[in-house]
Amino acid sequence: MSRRNIQLDEQNKLRHFITVEGLKRQMLVDILDTAENFLGLGARKTKKVPLLRGKTVANLFFEPSTRTRSTFELAAQRLSADILSMDIKTSATSKGESLLDMLQNLEAMGVDMFVVRHGSSGAARFIAEHVAPHVSVINAGDGCHSHPTQGMLDMFTIRKEKGEFAPLTVAIVGDILHSRVARSQIHALTTLGVTEVRVVAPRTLIPADVATLGVHVHHEMESGIKNADVIIMLRLQKERMQGGFLPSEAEYFKRYGLSEARLKLAKPDVTVMHPGPINRGVEIASNVADGEHSVILQQVTNGIAIRMAVMSMTLGRPEIEMGEPK
């Protein structure tokens, strides 16, 4: 199979979910539509459907995570899968066992899906290239490369708030250089046909080739968010910074923080988003994060539905209908 199509099987159905890049618009819409079916499940008395009954999902988180790991676990539980969450720090890989040896041992235990978060870009793809044909891999974030389910839950949130993508101007503000989320958002927004995607950051936090992705680059916050329909604030990836990217956090907030005063430059019905975790007073003021325009908590809720959608599309049995288990 070609490098570009590793995510798809022979019938062009989703087998792995490594990156948004290269997937057609209809595939992204199918993910959003499938998530819509799962959104109300959390309000039911019984929160499970049998789509992945008999399947085993292994969470391999080589980096710490709270929201992503928790929502993947909840998504798998609600699909009735068995879950194996690995403590990588105490696993055999810390004792010298190779990653491929660990994967083969887990496959021998009957694992059907790996959810992988790793500090190295390309790690999820490497795993997908070496798993057995019946095993699926979902990228839960790899290095500075991609975080596709976060990108898609952000698209789902935007669609819930705005309806259509085509008329929108979306501003992504912050540490574009180190953000795997930003790359996934940009690919998804452009594929879904958003009118204008802006990236807003100091020059030190903008990739040199970002304009080739079809975005407009702004180095001033005021011009970047003016008349925006959606503003996505990004966390400063301080753990990935080496050197003088910023003078200080206080100076960063002064120039690029989202305050109530700056928010007035955007559309009156602007939607404010943040993939988390939030650094209050650094990227965003607390009264904006908790304000009427913020959908940050809705993003977390939507993350469960999106992850259920991706897991069911890669491993699920579509002949089983949705509904309360008997």
Examine the pLDDT at 322 and tell me if it is beyond 80: no
Which residue intervals of the chain bear CATH 3.40.50.1370? 3-145+301-315, 148-295
157 within 8 A of 295, measured Cβ to Cβ: yes
Half-sphere exposure of 182 (CA within 13 A, CB side): 28
3-145+301-315: CATH superfamily: Aspartate/ornithine carbamoyltransferase (3.40.50.1370)
Beta bridge partner(s), residue 137: 114
Examine the pLDDT at 4 and tell me if it is beyond 80: no
Examine the pLDDT at 48 and tell me if it is beyond 80: yes
181 within 8 A of 144, measured Cβ to Cβ: no
Active site residues: 67-68, 95, 117, 147
- Distances in Å between the Cα of 182 and the Cα atoms of 37, 130, 214, 259 are 26, 27, 13, 21
pLDDT of residue 44: 82
β 113-118/56-61 pair status = parallel
Q: Tokens at residue 323, please?
A: 């509904």
| Between residues 88 and 326, the one the model is more confident about | 88
Compute the distance between CA of residue 157 and CA of residue 235 in angstroms, rounded to an integer: 18
Burial of 244 (0-12, 13-18, 19+ CB in 10 A): exposed
> Which of 68, 136, 129 lies closest to 99 in space, CA to CA?
129
Greatest CA separation for the chain: 59
Q: Cβ of 74: how many Cβ atoms within 10 Å?
A: 17
Answer yes or no: CATH 3.40.50.1370 is held by domain 148-295. yes
pLDDT of residue 268: 98
**What value does the mean pLDDT take over residues 133-148?**
94
Tell me the per-residue pLDDT of 183-195, one tens digit each, with 9 for 90 and over: 999 999 999 999 9
pLDDT of residue 46: 81
